[in-house]
Amino acid sequence: MRLNGVIKILLIISCMVFAMQEIFAVECESEIDFKIEVTPTVRESYTDMICYGNDYSGHGFFIEKPENDTVCYREEDCNHYTLNLRVCRPQEENIFESICEGSTYTKHGFNVSEGGVYTQNLQTKCGCDSTLTLHLDVISTATVTLFDECCTNVLYNGRGYENIEVKKDTVLESKIIKKGCEAKSQLFITAYEPVFTQLRDTVEKGTHYQKYNFDIIAVDERTTATQTLQTIHGCDSIVNLELYVYHDYLFEQNDSICPGDSVLWQKEYVKTAGDHYKRYKSVYDMDSVYVLHLKFNPVYLMSDSIYINNGDSYTWHGRTITSAGLYVDTLKTVNGCDSICHLKVKCTFELEFPAYFSPNGDGLNDTWVIKNLDGYPDSTVEIYDRYGKRLISYTYRTQPDGWDGIYNGHLMPFDDYWYIVRRQDSDKVYSGHFTLKR
């Protein structure tokens, strides 16, 4: 290369750095040799994934517990590296399903036939934890029993039935579908006959009679009148009135007895409440009517219930009560009738929850046992780990020795655990936590 004057040479060297060299030549010939080495630039892009909560280390990158998807860059010896990192979070999915009673749910890897909440621990395609929770409702197919009432000889319409002729107490059966499950329905219909009531009364001749909703003007002789009303069930109620003229021959008597007793009236023993009539002929060939208005004196049934602490006593009607049970006493009312008193006594037990237990086989505190739970043997006890996973559910009847710290055949580790206890005799719920020590 011949140079004349000032020549500027642009050199491209590694890392895209530019250098300019000036060569001066004055009225002479020069020859210069250049050796230029170019280092190629590497550009690499990586795609990877990691489970949430873990540190990432790979492809020369280190990221401490990334929270979200991220893109990282790194340069090394003029090389450029890019990392596209996806952070996979734990997946929690709830599904709500129902099956017919007697069926088995077999979807999504489950195989259960009782209602409840079931959980599976799976893995996502990223290899991370995934929780699938099944909320299963079991639809009962037991017979549904219904009750209704109507009047006899009237077409019944109701409860899904139309124009059913009812002449007596009737049972109707049909099939019903509840959420896709077939069940049997039984309808018991009580049929009410028309009510017939016979009334008798006497008046003086020429009286304007206005009783029992009757309105009869100028009664001069024996009269019969009828009214058709309705009972509380909407059926016919027929009231027949026999009205006698001349009140001098009506003899009325009022009396009362205890249920089960009787009274002597007109040479007969009467033991049913109500109006009783006897008709005779007087010496003047006129009716002589005797009426007994008999009613029952009330019999009182008094019931009460109390709670006493276990070991305490309670005095009732002169008796000292120290244990739970139903107590009965019979008294006399002012009318001489029996008055029955019931007292239901329940004993309360204060539940005590141990703060810890140590299932190490030394015979001391090897199980977690709630003190006095035997006083509520059907109360439900549920135990959960710190992540809210239910480990066991039991009652005193099913597991009187409490929990031994084992779940699915595995010894549970030293940790805190939580309990929920639902009392069988009330809406009271206990909750708290305890420690498993090993």
pLDDT tens digit sequence for 357-381: 999 988 899 999 999 888 788 999 9
* Element (DSSP H or E) covering residue 7: strand 5-13
What residues contact 200, with CB distance under 8 A and at least 6 apart?
241, 242, 243, 244, 277, 289, 291
Handedness of CA 146, 152, 157, 162 (dihedral sign): positive
Pairing of strands 263-265, 268-270: antiparallel
| Structure-block tokens of residue 416 | 């805190």
Pairing of strands 338-348, 325-332: antiparallel
Q: What letter would DSSP give residue 234?
A: S
The answer, yes or no, to whether residue 260 has pLDDT greater than 90, is no
Q: What letter would DSSP give residue 90?
A: P
Pairing of strands 116-123, 79-88: unpaired
Question: Can you give the pLDDT at residue 23?
Answer: 45
Q: Which candidate, 133, 134, 56, places its Cα nearest to that of 91? A: 133
Task: Considering only residues 201 and 11, tell me which one the structure prediction assigns the higher pLDDT.
Answer: 201
Spatial strand order in the sheet of 170-178: 144-151, 181-192, 170-178
Distance CA 96, CA 110 (A): 13
Identify which of 92-96, 139-143, 306-310 has the greatest average pLDDT.
Answer: 92-96
HSE, CB side, 13 Å, CA atoms: give it for residue 422: 6
- Residue 400 binned pLDDT confidence (cut-offs 50, 70, 90): very high
Q: Quote the pTM value.
A: 0.31
The answer, yes or no, to whether residue 53 has pLDDT greater than 80, is yes
Average pLDDT along the chain: 82
Distance CA 271, CA 267 (A): 13
Distance CA 147, CA 392 (A): 41
Question: Can you give the pLDDT at residue 36?
Answer: 63
Q: Tens digits of per-residue pLDDT, 297-350?
A: 887 777 887 777 767 788 888 888 887 778 888 877 777 787 788 878 777 778
* Element (DSSP H or E) covering residue 54: none
Amino acid identity, position 253 = Q
The answer, yes or no, to whether residue 26 has pLDDT greater than 70, is no
Tell me the domains of the chain and their CATH numbers: 43-88 (no CATH), 91-139 (no CATH), 144-192 (no CATH), 301-348 (no CATH), 356-436 (2.60.40)
- Please state, in angstroms and as integers, the Cα–Cα distance from residue 126 to each residue in 50, 72, 84, 95, 378, following that order: 7, 20, 15, 22, 45
Question: Kindly report the CA angle at 96 between 106 and 89, in degrees rounded to 5?
Answer: 95
- Please state, in angstroms and as integers, the Cα–Cα distance from residue 281 to each residue in 222, 246, 249, 268, 334, following that order: 14, 13, 9, 19, 40
Amino acid identity, position 210 = Q
Distance CA 200, CA 241 (A): 6
